[in-house]
Structure formats: structure tokens, C-alpha cells
Chains A and B, each alone.
Chain A
Amino acid sequence: MSKFKLITDGLVKNNPTFVLLLGMCPTLATTTSAINGLSMGLATLFVLVLSNMAISALAPAVPDKVHIPVYIVVIATFVTLLQLLMQAYTPAMYETLGLFIPLIVVNCIVLGRAEAFANKHGVLESACDGLGVGLGFTCSLTVLGLVREILGSGSAFGWNFIGGHDGMLAFVMAPGAFLCLGYLMVLFNKFLKKN
């Protein structure tokens, strides 16, 4: 499989949000605005690429019975690393997402890619797979966040276009997250079938 195809597969065919339905907790919780969705996506992308690479390098040396604990330790290390870096260099972003960063450890996308792909493939392929799936997750979260922000707050990427009035608040809260996700999933799969 070519490296390019690995990346596009993660974006479309294996899209973690709309096709595989993985990582729903951060998806629903953080997409209150496009910026939040984008930041959460990028944070996951960072962890995904690094953990995929580290795990594909480690895999041959890891006994089968302890492979899950080893992977989790590796993933948790990268997440904590990310948390420290965000706290130090992007404190504003950390304030919004801080609560959800530790949850990346148990995000099934990360462990899922480690299990399904990284431990059977080389470092470079795993990096591409991580990049593809991570980008897929980032795009999905940004789109979902954008739709919810437009409907719920009447703004896009923080730019308000309804002059300070309130949007449909339900879309910023949990019920709106489920509704938007459902409709986007329908649209995405319809588009996917056509092609």
C-alpha cells in the first residue's frame, strides 16, 4: 500500500468519527466551537503519530501477554508530554482543552490504531497511518465544531455574524452534539457511497 493511500484512507474510508465511530467521548464533548474541535483534533493527531511510530518500533520486542500494558504506558507518556508542552507554551488552549487531554490516553482511536495497524507495520507506514487517521479525526471534529458553533452561537471560528444575539443554544450542549453528529454521519456516508 502506498504511503499516500494510507493517509487518504484515514481521512475518508477509515474516517475515525464518521465511519469507525471511535473516540466519541472527546468528539461530543469538545466540539462546542470550531477552534476547540480543531485543537482537540491536532492534539490527538500529535499523540497518534508518535505513539504509532513508537509502538511499531517496539512491537517486535514486546511479549504478547503484556502488549496492552506496554502500549498504554507508551501512549500515556506521549499524552502527558503533550499536556506539559501545552501547559507551558499554549496556556490559553490548555485552559479550554485541559480537562480532555488526559482522556486521549483512553481514546480508542489511539489504542485501536496501535492494535490494528502499528504493531504489524513499519515505522514509516505507521506514521502515515497515524497522520491519516489523525487528520481524519481533526477534519471531522473541526466540521462538527463549526456546524455546532454556527447553529449554537451564530459564529464561525470565533467570528460572530449575528451581531451578539444568542444562537440556538441547544446545539452548543450535549443534545445538539448528538443531532449534528448523526446528520453529518448520514451526509458523509451518502457521499462515500456515491464515490
Chain B
Amino acid sequence: MAVKSNLVNMAVVLGATCLLCSAVLGGAYALTKAPIEAAAAEKTNRAIGEVLPHFTAAEFVADGNYYKATDGDEVVGYAILSNVVGFGGNLSLMVGVTPDGVVYNTSVLSHSETPGLGAKCNTDSKFMDQWRGFNPSVKKLAVTKDGGDVDAITASTITSRAYTLAVANALDTFNGIAGQAGNDALTVMPGEDRASNNEGGQDNE
């Protein structure tokens, strides 16, 4: 090495390197801040579009952590954010509920489930399609193993239970919205079905 390792040299070189690197990173952060936010916003918007029928405007309600989608004056549905703990970590869903209390569709925002097993909750069409038009007043919201009507992903019961729980939580939020609105047209689903499911979601095997 050409430069001697005395205190001044070491401090100057290390200091200068850190200063230069932080300057580069600061610049990169400033440049990528807008695209990163745009990407996150686009992802949320795409998820809302997936889980709800056609709408013209979606307004975020921070109080209940949901989006209220309207087409003109008519409310077409609610896109509700729902976070639960899955098998590998947080499982975050967007659940679309139409004003009659039926699940329109669901979409995974983020998950950390096992690749090839639980991660299929985001790709397995058999599992995903059963949430389209899921009516909690007709079908029981629990996996078949727990006596419900939700077909679990093969070898991923815990993930499937967590997913089911996330949908149940979203429906709870919806019932809260419906109750607040005091609208008779909004049906409130029976409570006992979900009470048993909540236990199932916490279960570990």
C-alpha cells in the first residue's frame, strides 16, 4: 500500500470515503423517491381495481384503513386493507366488499410465505378464484379442515387459515362501516361463523 497507516491518514481516507458515499446515496434517494412512491401508489391502485367492480373514484378512509369506491353518487364497494400473521410473517391483503356484504375479489399486497407452498396464495388460481363472489351469509368462512367452505392450499393450511382470517377481519371492518352508515340495504353477516374461524387462524400445528 502506498499510503501509511497513521491516524491522520486513516481518519481522512475513511471520512472522505463515507462523505462521498453518503453524497452518492443522498442523490440517488432524491432521484428515486418519486418513482418509488409512484410504484407503491400504482400497486395499491391496481389492487383496488382488481378487488372491486368498475368505479370512477376511490377515497381513502384512514380511520378504518379502507378505500371507499364510488361510481358517480353510488357506492360500488369498499377495498379494505387487512393485515394478519401468516406462516412466514405478515400477510397483507386487499379485500373488496360490495355494499351487499359479498366479497367481490381479494388481492395479496405483500406476504412472506414459503415459496412453493404458502406463497401459492398469490398464484394458485384454484385458491384465489374461490374468493370471487364469496358470500359469507351462504358459505362458511373457514377452511374445510375446520368445517368451513374454503378449500385450503395443499400442504399450506396455516397460510390458508391466515388468508381466511384476513378476509374475516375485512368483513368485520365492512360490518363496522355498514353499521355506521345505518343503511338497511347493507346486510350484516351472522357473527358465529367468524367467531370459530378466528380461533382457527391462530392455531398452529
Besides A60-B2, A61-B3, 5 new A-B residue pairs in contact (Cβ under 8 A), listed by A number: A32-B116, A73-B14, A89-B39, A91-B43, A169-B155
B116 and A88 contact, CB distance less than 8 A: no
Interface residues, chain B, with chain A CB atoms under 8 Å away: 1-6, 9-10, 13-14, 17-18, 21, 24-25, 28-29, 32, 35-36, 39-40, 43, 110, 112, 114-117, 126, 154-155
Q: How far is the CA of A80 from the CA of B5 in the complex (A)?
A: 29
Give the bracket for the number of chain A residues in contact with chain B. Answer: 35 or more
A172 and B155 alpha carbons, distance in the complex (Å) = 13
Contact B25 A62 (CB under 8 A): no
Chain B residue at minimum C-beta to C-beta distance from A96:
B115
- CB neighbours (8 Å) of B10 from chain A are 63, 65-66
Bound-state CA distance A10–B104 (Å) is: 53
A81, chain B: closest CB distance, angstroms:
5
Instruction: Say yes or no: B32 contacts A63, CB within 8 Å.
Output: no
CB closest chain-A residue, reference B39: A91
Residue of B nearest to A158 (CB): B123
Q: Say which residue of A70, A84, A87, A167 sits within 8 Å of B13 (CB atoms).
A: A70
Contact of B36 among A33, A76, A88 (CB under 8 A): A88
Q: Which residue from B4, B21, B126 sits with its C-beta under 8 Å from A77? A: B21
| Interchain Cβ contacts under 8 Å between A and B, 7 examples | A32-B115, A59-B1, A63-B3, A63-B4, A84-B25, A99-B112, A172-B116
A153 on the B face (CB < 8 A)? yes
- The residue of chain B having its C-beta at the shortest distance from the C-beta of A174 within the complex is B114
CB-CB under 8 A from B154, the residues of chain A are 166
Chain A positions near chain B (C-beta within 8 angstroms): 32-33, 36, 58-67, 69-70, 73-74, 76-77, 80-81, 84-85, 87-89, 91, 95, 99, 152-153, 164, 166-167, 169, 172-173
Q: Are A69 and B14 in contact (CB under 8 A)?
A: yes
Q: Which residues of B contact A63 (CB under 8 A)?
A: 1, 3-6, 9-10, 13
Within the assembled complex, what's the spacing in Å between the Cα atoms of A61 and B12? 11
Q: Which residues of B contact A70 (CB under 8 A)?
A: 13-14, 17
B115 and A62 contacting across the interface, CB-CB below 8 Å: no
B116: chain A residues at CB < 8 Å are 32, 152-153, 167, 169, 172-173
B5 in complex: contacting residue of A32, A66, A87, CB < 8 Å: A66
Most B CB contacts (10 A, CB to CB) among A62, A63, A64, A99 go to A63
Given contacts A61-B2, A169-B117, contact A87 B24 (CB under 8 A): no
Q: Is the Cβ of B110 less than 8 Å from the Cβ of A81?
A: no
Residues of A within 8 A of B5 (CB): 63-66
Q: How far, in whole Å, are A98 and B6 apart by their CA atoms in the complex?
A: 40
- Residues of B near A33 (CB, < 8 A) are 115
Residues of A within 8 A of B43 (CB): 91
Q: How far is the CB of A64 from chain B (nearest CB, A)?
A: 5
Given contacts A66-B14, A73-B18, A169-B155, contact A88 B9 (CB under 8 A): no
CA distance A91 to B45 in the complex (A): 14
Are the CB atoms of B17 and A73 closer together than 8 Å? Answer: yes
CA distance A169 to B120 in the complex (A): 12
8 tightest A-B contacts by CB? A172-B116, A88-B35, A32-B115, A65-B5, A88-B32, A77-B21, A63-B5, A91-B39
A16 to chain B, nearest CB (A): 23
- What is the CA–CA distance of A85 and B7 in the complex, to the nearest angstrom? 36
